[in-house]
Amino acid sequence: MTDDAAQITDLRITRPDFTVEDISFTIPRGSVVGLVGPNGAGKTTIIRSLLGLITPDAGHIEVLGGPAGASAALAKTGIVLDRPTAAEDWRVTSLGRRLAPFYPRWDHTRFAQLLEQFSIPQKRRVGELSRGQGVKLALSCALAQRPELLILDEPSSGLDPASRREITDVIREFMVDPQHAVLFSTHITTDLDELADDLIVLVGGRIAHRGPLPDVKESFAIARGTGTVPASALGPQHTGQGWSALIRVDDSPLYGPEVVIDEATIDDIIIHLNAAHEEATA
């Protein structure tokens, strides 16, 4: 068994209006990897390629020791999207019976525990569930498969804080096993502050920055000032009061005392790296 649950090397996927290229990263076992970026950056495209739903134009993908999309890998991969994938007219109580034949390691006891833990009405049809209940149901189905790799594509978008807390708690429990791994794509970056070990920032179909989450956040800061924007500032945004921009912490001494420098959040990093990309490609 390798130390990586998944590996992507030199991935390139070209479409008429969009290209994902030069994508290389690993999802180590025992880690949660956060995948972030603005809409259209390529996050879902990468996830679809990991699942074998898209054939790359170039590059190599390995998932749980085999090629992407292989039945052996998919049987050990739990997938949670931003909405249930089960038929809307299926009742919650029937899902275990319907899905178990497709997953050799399906755990009926675990599925029942999760339904109870999430307070999901088991007599309702899938289409009658609220958004939060639907996401929790999808997570319950994914974990009942007893996966080694869990892939989450915007599961917490639009959920209330209590529901998001329930989801992060279950993910944290899943990660108690050091052989497990998670790829978590989300716009709710505060969830990653609590969970992620590594962060990958996608901008314009490329990796703009990546590394251990603490290192990424410590690499950047937000500078706010007036007057001329220094050349080293990344993605400056102008307001009536002056400007704000992302800077590298190592460049902080270059800025005078009139410039205020604060810690950068994940959102700050995404916004300004994307602005820098748009400026460079305009």
How big is the CA angle at 30 (ends 24 and 187), to the nearest 5 degrees? 60
Distances (CA, A) of 183 to 17, 145, 224, 228: 26, 17, 33, 40
Cα 28 from Cα 22, distance rounded (Å): 19
pLDDT confidence of residue 84: 61
Considering only residues 240 and 20, tell me which one the structure prediction assigns the higher pLDDT: 20
pLDDT confidence of residue 264: 94
- Beta strand pairing call for 198-203 and 4-15: unpaired
Cα 145 from Cα 123, distance rounded (Å): 21
**Nearest by Cα to 258 from 218, 219, 220, 230:** 230
Q: Which CATH class name applies to 4-211?
A: alpha beta
pLDDT confidence of residue 156: 78
Residue 163 in contact with residue 132, Cβ under 8 Å? yes
Mean pLDDT of 146-158: 89
Q: Mind listing the pLDDT tens digit for each residue in 77-98?
A: 999 986 667 778 888 988 888 9
Enumerate the domain spans of the chain: 4-211, 215-281
Q: Mind listing the pLDDT tens digit for each residue in 218-269?
A: 999 999 998 888 889 999 998 878 999 999 999 988 888 889 999 999 999 9
Q: Whole-prediction pTM value?
A: 0.92
Mean pLDDT of 136-163: 90
Q: How far from each other are the two terminal CA atoms of the chain, in whole angstroms?
A: 46
Residue 140 in contact with residue 107, Cβ under 8 Å? no
Query: Strand runs (DSSP E) across 111-229, as ranges?
Result: 149-153, 181-185, 198-203, 206-212, 220-225
221: three-class secondary structure by DSSP? strand
Q: How many CB atoms lie within 10 A of CB 189?
A: 17
Residue 149 in contact with residue 175, Cβ under 8 Å? no
Considering only residues 199 and 122, tell me which one the structure prediction assigns the higher pLDDT: 199
Q: H or E segment at 35?
A: strand 32-36
